[in-house]
Amino acid sequence: MIEGLRRGKPAFLASVTDANEAEIALGGGADIIDCKDPAAGALGALPLATVRDIVGRVAGRASVSATVGDLPSDPEIMTAAAIAMAQTGVDVVKIGFFGEEDPRAAISALGSACSRTTKLVAVLMADRAPDFPVVEALRDARFAGVMLDTADKSAGSLTTVLSLRQLAEFLRTARTNDLFAGLAGSLRERDIAVLTPLGPDMLGFRGALCAAGRQGAIEADRVIAVRRAMDNARFANVAPETSVA
């Protein structure tokens, strides 16, 4: 399990582009600060120096994760990128698998090179026919967790791409393999009450925190609104079984 999930499940991940946005996200109640460049793709990587600045500004007040970019599932390319990102001091390195190649060789290489010193989280693309059985390979490679996201941010929220039953299946598969499980992908504030009863370990946000879309700047009032909605949903008495019918 990823450290820093102080508020219980689901944790609130906020994707930020610089240290100032990290401060805003922390002030609004985010549990995990995620370093990402939304202008560079679904999982665009920030410059290593920017990630180091964010890690320094957070200074242990929350867990920090970082994406390595929209990369092909090439073992050498992914391993080099993960090692470089881990050296910035982040707690978690996120690796995206876009469904264009079989990721198992890359997963195995990443596990061998990084998993003993770095927490690795795989990101599967919900709009690219995600291969849920690959979660077993992630477990074998000693990944810490797995997330669902979307590659095409114009296609709508994760909840419009996969049904609640499919999302529940993904979460069950992750739990069966003892992996941290997160959901992201153009999530809006209204998605929180729908997804929380499924029991994800984390919900991730970017666009919902920005007035001008995911490439705009994070705004404090939007961060606070998401934090409040997550707290309200956590304490609502909604049974998971009624949410996936």
Catalytic residues: 36, 94
User: In this structure, are residues 42 and 151 in contact, taking their beta carbons and an 8 Å threshold?
Assistant: yes
Q: CA–CA separation, 132 vs 154, rounded Å?
A: 23
Task: Calculate helix-pair angle for 19-28, 48-58, nearest 10 degrees.
Answer: 40
In degrees to the nearest 10, what's the CA dihedral of 170, 172, 177, 182?
A: 50
Q: CA–CA separation, 53 vs 186, rounded Å?
A: 26
Q: CA–CA separation, 213 vs 135, rounded Å?
A: 31
- HSE-up of residue 102 (Cα within 13 Å, Cβ side): 5
Q: CA–CA separation, 116 vs 109, rounded Å?
A: 12
Q: CA–CA separation, 141 vs 126, rounded Å?
A: 22
3-state SS of 51-67? Answer: HHHHHHHHCCCCEEEEE
202: burial class by Cβ within 10 Å (0-12, 13-18, 19+)? buried
Task: Calculate helix-pair angle for 48-58, 75-86, nearest 10 degrees.
Answer: 40
- HSE-up of residue 98 (Cα within 13 Å, Cβ side): 14
